[in-house]
Amino acid sequence: MKPATRSSLILVSLLGTGLVLGFFWVYRAAMDVKNRRDQRSVESTAEMSDMVWIPTGKFTMGATDGETDEAPLHDVKITGFWMDKTEVTNEQFEKFVKATHYVTVAERKPDPKQFPGVPEDKLVPGSIVFTPEPNVTDLSNHMQWWSYVPGADWRHPEGPKSSIADRMKHPVVQVCWDDAVAYCQWSGKRLPTEAEWEYAARGGTERAHYPWGNELLPQGRWMMNCWQGKFPNENTHGDGFMTTAPVGSFPPNGYGLSDMAGNVWEWCSDWYLPDYYKSSPRENPLGPDKSFDPNEPGVWKRVTRGGSWMCSDSYCKGYRPSARMKTSPDTGLQNTGFRCVKAGTR
């Protein structure tokens, strides 16, 4: 699904309109974020049984049958690394929060400096929740199904009345890039680069459409948690899940990684640049040193990968291994989480 940013949605929720006006402030906010680095204490809790070894190798990155930012196809060499078998769960994230008392961005009051002119009492913590308007027909405007909900955060993914009590094995959501980086640092790991992520997602297949091969429904079976029915108003949950699914509910790929397609978008370390592949290094690319999203010029964004429970074959196909998404680093969403990687040897 298309990205939405925390800052722009806070502004929309406060002002009704004013998006265009908002871009200036969003730009400033993004620059602040860019210059911020979380210094959290590093505590090693690496449990290798939760990770799999992704072997050194070479793969063809990108696609020619996807969006323009997936092209050109190019060969990339990747040095082997460890990767979490699953997306980080609510249970795992709770351990981190208990140990560090970390407060996620969604739980913090928006910085008044980013919203000049907005009364202080309107600046309340919150995050971005899937709230589809009835009878959406034009899918070009994501504001029809995303809104800033006060009190929404990782413990309350749909707002203050929701709970994760029966979802502890589900991926944590409503965590922004900064939160994900803080978790990775605490666990002695880091976020994957976009290239590492795609290499791992392909699971040893060569240019396949999906992490398991070329067929969407092998033997008529859903291989991932995505969206069935007419998005965003009809969710027939043919795969068994309305929103997120417990991690590992579907068969793992060739490297033993679960949910590399669907469930939640996963944060990568790279800045997003649509034409990066034209000039990216062919060995362990780390991403560009700047960001640009033609849909929201001025807002620096980080890459997310893998698609989510909101992606459908009739619309975005975001779960293909080559599909690229981008979100501003201070934005948490109900369909976005992460997993970590770690350098080393087998």
Question: Which parts of this chain interact with Cu ion (CB under 5 A)?
Answer: 1, 311, 316, 318
Beta carbon of residue 327, minimum distance to Cu ion (angstroms, whole number): 12
Q: Which is nearer to Ca ion, 32 or 313 (CB)?
A: 313
The CA distance from 329 to 332, in Å, is 8
The CA distance from 199 to 305, in Å, is 12
* Cβ proximity of 330 and 29 under 8 Å: yes
241 binds Ca ion (CB under 5 A): yes
Query: 3-class secondary structure for 149-191?
Result: EECCECCECCCCCCCCCCCCCCECCCCCHHHHHHHHHHCCCEC
Radius of gyration of the chain (CA): 19
The CA distance from 115 to 154, in Å, is 24
Site string for Ca ion, 301-330 (x = CB under 5 A): --------x---------------------
The CA distance from 152 to 266, in Å, is 19
Q: Output DSSP code: residue 29.
A: H
Q: Which is nearer to Cu ion, 54 or 311 (CB)?
A: 311
Q: Which is nearer to Cu ion, 107 or 293 (CB)?
A: 293
* Cβ proximity of 199 and 193 under 8 Å: no
Beta carbon of residue 266, minimum distance to Cu ion (angstroms, whole number): 13
Q: Give the binding range for Ca ion (CB under 5 A) out of 58-66, 128-136, 232-240, 336-344.
A: 232-240
Find which of Ca ion, Cu ion, none residue 225 binds, CB within 5 to 8 Å per kind. Ca ion
Find which of Ca ion, Cu ion, none residue 239 binds, CB within 5 to 8 Å per kind. Ca ion
104 binds Ca ion (CB under 5 A): no
Beta carbon of residue 54, minimum distance to Ca ion (angstroms, whole number): 27
* b/e code 255-269 from CB counts within 10 Å (16+ = b): bebbbbbbbbbbbbb
Strand 126-130 with 57-61, pairing: unpaired
Find which of Ca ion, Cu ion, none residue 1 binds, CB within 5 to 8 Å per kind. Cu ion
Nearest residue relative to Ca ion (C-beta) = 241
Could you tell me the two tokens for 170? 């589900």
Alpha helices for the chain (secondary structure H) = 6-15, 19-35, 90-100, 177-186, 194-202
Find which of Cu ion, Ca ion, none residue 318 binds, CB within 5 to 8 Å per kind. Cu ion
Q: Which of 179, 239, 266, 296 is close enough to bind Ca ion by CB under 5 A?
A: 239
- Of 250, 324, 317, the closest CA to residue 287 belongs to 324
Beta carbon of residue 70, minimum distance to Cu ion (angstroms, whole number): 14
Q: Which is nearer to Cu ion, 126 or 318 (CB)?
A: 318
Question: How many residues in the shown chain lie near Ca ion by CB under 5 A?
Answer: 5
Q: Which is nearer to Cu ion, 130 or 277 (CB)?
A: 130
The CA distance from 261 to 309, in Å, is 9
Beta carbon of residue 237, minimum distance to Ca ion (angstroms, whole number): 5
Beta carbon of residue 323, minimum distance to Cu ion (angstroms, whole number): 8
Find which of Ca ion, Cu ion, none residue 81 binds, CB within 5 to 8 Å per kind. none
Beta carbon of residue 307, minimum distance to Ca ion (angstroms, whole number): 11
Residue 49 backbone phi and psi in degrees, to 5: -70, -20
* Cβ proximity of 132 and 143 under 8 Å: no
Q: Which is nearer to Cu ion, 76 or 316 (CB)?
A: 316
Question: What burial class does residue 237 get, using C-beta atoms within 10 Å of its C-beta: 0-12 exposed, 13-18 middle, 19+ buried?
Answer: middle
225 binds Ca ion (CB under 5 A): yes
Beta carbon of residue 218, minimum distance to Cu ion (angstroms, whole number): 21
**Which residues contribute to the site for Ca ion (CB under 5 A)?**
225, 237, 239, 241, 309
